[in-house]
Structure 1
Amino acid sequence: MQKALIPTALLGLLLTGAIFGFFYAWVCSTMWGLDAIDPHVAIQAMNGMNASVRNAVFAPAFFGTPFVLGSVAQMARKEGHRQASWLFNSAAMIYLLLGVMLTGFANVPMNEALAATALPDDPAAAAQIWAEYSPRWQMFNIIRTAASGVSLLLVGLGLLKLR
């Protein structure tokens, strides 16, 4: 077996798990917490988190995952692990389409629009801004969370097929 296959597959598992956990935390705590506080504070906090996520710690998991998984798929195919290759490739494509691309086409533009919106003094106006933003943003996040979870499951199955 190619020496790099298992370590690279494990790296793919780690990255996929990291990104699934990141999206999942937004689903089950972060957004619920923001929804429960003053909309002024929620908007400011969301803007702060969105600005801070663009960093060298987050980038490998977010951007690197589909490339690592694609590399594992190619290595597995060369080693004759056709089922494993299909599983890793499927995991890469699902995450690329419904994780990376959905984020770029839905969540990021919403984040940029929220950041560009002047925070009103009127509490009702701030509540309206948050009410228009949060449920829609969460819907897209649930999709990318589910997709990342499916990708993680596929990576696990792919690893089992390499035995």
Structure 2
Amino acid sequence: MTAARLIALVLATLATGLIAGLFYGYANSVMPALNRTDDRTMIDVMQKINVVIINPVFMIGFLGTVGFSILAAALHLGKDQRSTLIWIGIALAINVIAFAVTSGLNVPLNNQLAAAGDPSRIADLAAVRADFEAVWVRWNIVRAVLHTLAFLVLCGALFVAGTQHGKANAAGAATPDQYVAQGHPGQFPGQPGVAVYR
């Protein structure tokens, strides 16, 4: 396994795991806590979260779920990498679906909440909350599950890649007799000071 392949696969796995964890955190703590607050607090906090979360650290991870997966897949093209590529391809497909859920469902809901304006000036806070919360929570759980599945598949890809690399190294290792038979009498690689002659 080349360094570039390994780095791309690790980055894809890391990005996917981080985003899965973020959405899991929303589902497991943030949204249940906000569910216990009043309408104005819930709307105000979510509006603020949706602003501050758009930062380089989040965007690298979020875009990296797909971007790094594509890079890893591209670097694993070729017959000898096919078994690893299959795993990466499955993870990429799942990440793309999860990305589409966020972009096509959660983000529009965030924009809708932002368009409602300052919570202190919203006439019907309950209606704004009702149009946002339950649907957003539902799709957040869906994308969390999808990214978690993609993370597990990428872990599988790392395992397969490592196993394949180990087998290739084992197959390519020569014994002293094989080394001599290949026309290289003399010192056997990896055994300093030991000369083999026939």
> TM-score under structure 2 normalisation?
0.75
Inter-partner Cα distance in structure 1 for 2:79 and 2:49: 42
Report the number of matched residues. Answer: 161
Offset, 1:51: 0.8
CA RMSD, aligned part only?
1.8
1:107-134 Cα shifts (integer Å, max 9, x gaps): 11111111111436689x3233223311
Inter-partner Cα distance in structure 1 for 2:135 and 2:104: 13
> TM-score under structure 1 normalisation?
0.90
Higher relative helix content: 1
Instruction: Give the corresponding residue for 1:147.
Output: 146
Q: Does 1:57 align with 2:57?
A: yes
Q: Mark the runs of 5 or more structure 2 residues left unpaired by the alignment.
A: 163-198
Aligned residue runs from structure 1 range 62-101, under 5 A: 62-78=62-78, 80-98=80-98, 100-101=99-100
Bigger drift between 113-122 and 102-111 goes to 113-122
Are the aligned partners of 1:12 and 1:65 in contact in 2 as well (CA < 8 Å)? Answer: yes
Aligned residue runs from structure 1 range 4-153, under 5 A: 4-78=4-78, 80-98=80-98, 100-118=99-117, 119=119, 125-153=124-152
1:7-61 Cα shifts (integer Å, max 9, x gaps): 2211111111111111111110111111111110110000000011111111111
Offset, 1:78: 2.9
Partner of 2:76, secondary structure, is: helix
Offset, 1:84: 1.3
Bigger relative contact order, structure 1 or 2 (CA pairs below 8 A, ≥6 apart):
1
Could you tell me the percent identity over the aligned residues? 27
Q: Whose Rg is larger?
A: 2
Offset, 1:149: 0.6
Are the aligned partners of 2:16 and 2:64 in contact in 1 as well (CA < 8 Å)? Answer: no
Q: Mark the runs of 5 or more structure 1 residues left unpaired by the alignment.
A: none
